[in-house]
C-alpha cells in the first residue's frame, strides 16, 4: 500500500525520526522523508529506511517524487491532512484515497518491544507519583499552579523525560472540571487532590490518575480515607467501577462492552449521570490513540492492545474523582501496567 503521512508520531513509527515539519511517503520498495533545511542535519543522522529529501516547499517536493516514481494512487488519513494540504497534493493529478486512522490502525496492536517501552514509561511515571506525594506532605500553602510546576520536575526528572501531556493538579471543586486548568487556589489539609499525569519514555507515553485525601500522610495509593461521607461514597464507586472493568475486560469483547462494565456501576449508584467522559483510550506514541473505550465503539479488543481504564465522578461545584491505570491485553485479559 502506497501512503503519505504528516503526523509526527505516524512518521516516527515508520522511520525512527520525526520533526514538526515533514512529509513521509511509503512506496513498495522505498520511502521518502521530506523536511525543510532546519531539520535535515538531524534527519540524515536518524531516519532509518527512507531517503531524506530537503525542501522549502514540502508539498512541491512530494509532487516531484510522485512524478519521478510514477505514482498513480496514494492513501492518506483525512484527519491528518488539512483541506489546504490535500489541495497541494492533488495538484499533482494523482488519486488520493482517504483511509481514516491509517497510522493508528497499524499501531493499535503493540509489539513486545513497544509494550516494554510503555511498561518502562508507566513505571517511571508511577515512581514520580510516589516522589511527588512525599514532596506534597510538606507542601500545604502552595498553589495549584506552583504544584503543577513542582510535579513536572518530578515527572520529567528535571528535564530528562518529556511529559506526555500537561499534568492536571486540581483541588476539590476544581477537580470537577475533568480537564481543569491550575489556579492560585492553595493546598490545605483535608483537600481532595486529583492528579493526572504522564511521561514519555523513548517517545512512548504513560498516563495515570489518582485522587487522594490531603494531609501529612498523603500517598497516591488507591486506598484513600476521605473525611467527607459523600466523597467517600463517590470514591468507592469509582474504584469499584475501575476494578470491575479491569477484572471483566476480555480480548474479543467490543470496546463499548468494557466501557459498559464501569458505567453500569456508576449509573446504578447515587452518582448516575456524573461520569461524563469515556472509560479510556489507547496509549502509545500518541497519548490518545486507538482503541477508544467509549459507549459507542464496537472495535474488537485484542491481545497486545494498550489502553487506559479511567472512570470518574464529577459533581460540579463540589468535587471530582478519577482513577486511571493503563492495561495491556495479554492472554485474553487486562494486565495492569
Residue 50 C-beta: closest distance to a copy of itself, Å: 19
- Residue 178 or 304 having the CB closest to a copy of itself: 178
Taking the complex as a whole, the smallest distance from the CB of residue 223 to a copy of itself amounts, in Å, to 27
For residue 301, the minimal CB distance to a copy of itself (Å) is: 22
Whose Cβ is closer to a copy of itself: residue 119's or residue 132's?
A: 132
> What are the start-end ranges of the E strands in 190-267?
192-197, 200-201, 204-205, 208-213
The Cα–Cα gap between 62 and 21 comes to 13
Task: Give the three-state DSSP class for 336.
Answer: strand
Q: Rounded to the nearest whole angstrom, what is the least distance from the CB of residue 178 to a copy of itself in the complex?
A: 4
Q: In this structure, are residues 21 and 35 in contact, taking their beta carbons and an 8 Å threshold?
A: yes
Nearer to a copy of itself, 284 or 320 (CB): 320
Contact 13, 102 (CB under 8 A): no
* 150 vs 162: CA distance, rounded Å: 15
Is residue 224 a contact partner of residue 213, using CB atoms and an 8 Å limit? yes
Question: What gap in Å lies between CA 298 and CA 279, rounded to an integer?
Answer: 14
Residue 14 contacts residue 24 (beta carbons within 8 Å): yes
Residue recorded with cell 525542501: 55
- Between residues 176 and 328, which has the closer beta carbon with respect to a copy of itself? 176
196: three-class secondary structure by DSSP: strand
Shortest approach of a copy of itself to residue 147 CB, angstroms?
Answer: 8
Minimum CB–partner distance for residue 209 and a copy of itself (Å): 13
Give whole-number Cα distances, 111 to 9, 99, 117, in Å: 16, 23, 10
Shortest Cβ 250–a copy of itself spacing (Å): 26
The whole-angstrom separation of Cα 96 and Cα 102 is 13
Reference 68, options 37, 120, 39, 32; nearest CA is: 32
Give the residues lining the site for a copy of itself (CB under 8 A).
19-20, 37-39, 41-42, 78-87, 98, 100, 145-146, 148-150, 152-153, 156, 158-160, 176-182, 276-277, 316
Amino acid at each position: 500500500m502506497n501512503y503519505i503521512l504528516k503526523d509526527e508520531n505516524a512518521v516516527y513509527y515508520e522511520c525512527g525520526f520525526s520533526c514538526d515539519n515533514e512529509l513521509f511517503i511509503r512506496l513498495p520498495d522505498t520511502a521518502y522523508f521530506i523536511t525543510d533545511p532546519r531539520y535535515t542535519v538531524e534527519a540524515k543522522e536518524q531516519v532509518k529506511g527512507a531517503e531524506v529529501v530537503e525542501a522549502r516547499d514540502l508539498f512541491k517536493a512530494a509532487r516531484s517524487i510522485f512524478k519521478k516514481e510514477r505514482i498513480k494512487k496514494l492513501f492518506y488519513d483525512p484527519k491528518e491532512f488539512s483541506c489546504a494540504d490535500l489541495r497541494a497534493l492533488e495538484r499533482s493529478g494523482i488519486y488520493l484515497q482517504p483511509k481514516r486512522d491509517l497510522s493508528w490502525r497499524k499501531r493499535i496492536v503493540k509489539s513486545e518491544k513497544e509494550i516494554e517501552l510503555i511498561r518502562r514509561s508507566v513505571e517511571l511515571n508511577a515512581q514520580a507519583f510516589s516522589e511527588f506525594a512525599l514532596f506534597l506532605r510538606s507542601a500545604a500553602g502552595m498553589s495549584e499552579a506552583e504544584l503543577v510546576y513542582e510535579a513536572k520536575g518530578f515527572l520529567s526528572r528535571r528535564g530528562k523525560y518529556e511529559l506526555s501531556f500537561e499534568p492536571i493538579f486540581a483541588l476539590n471543586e476544581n477537580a470537577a472540571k475533568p480537564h481543569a486548568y491550575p489556579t492560585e487556589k492553595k493546598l490545605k489539609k483535608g483537600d481532595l487532590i486529583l492528579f493526572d499525569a504522564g511521561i514519555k519514555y523513548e517517545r512512548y507515553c504513560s498516563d495515570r490518575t489518582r485522587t487522594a485525601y490531603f494531609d501529612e500522610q498523603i500517598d497516591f495509593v488507591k486506598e484513600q480515607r476521605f473525611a467527607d461521607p459523600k466523597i467517600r461514597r463517590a470514591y468507592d464507586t469509582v474504584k469499584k467501577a475501575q476494578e470491575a472493568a479491569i477484572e471483566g475486560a476480555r480480548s474479543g469483547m467490543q470496546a463499548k462492552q468494557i466501557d459498559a462494565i464501569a458505567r453500569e456501576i456508576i449509573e446504578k449508584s447515587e452518582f448516575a449521570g456524573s461520569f461524563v467522559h469515556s472509560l479510556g483510550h489507547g496509549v502509545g506514541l500518541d497519548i490518545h490513540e486507538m482503541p477508544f473505550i467509549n459507549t459507542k465503539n464496537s472495535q474488537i479488543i485484542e491481545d497486545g492492545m494498550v489502553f487506559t481504564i479511567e472512570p470518574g465522578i464529577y459533581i460540579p461545584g463540589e468535587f471530582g474523582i478519577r482513577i486511571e491505570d493503563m492495561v495491556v491485553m495479554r492472554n485474553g485479559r487486562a494486565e495492569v501496567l
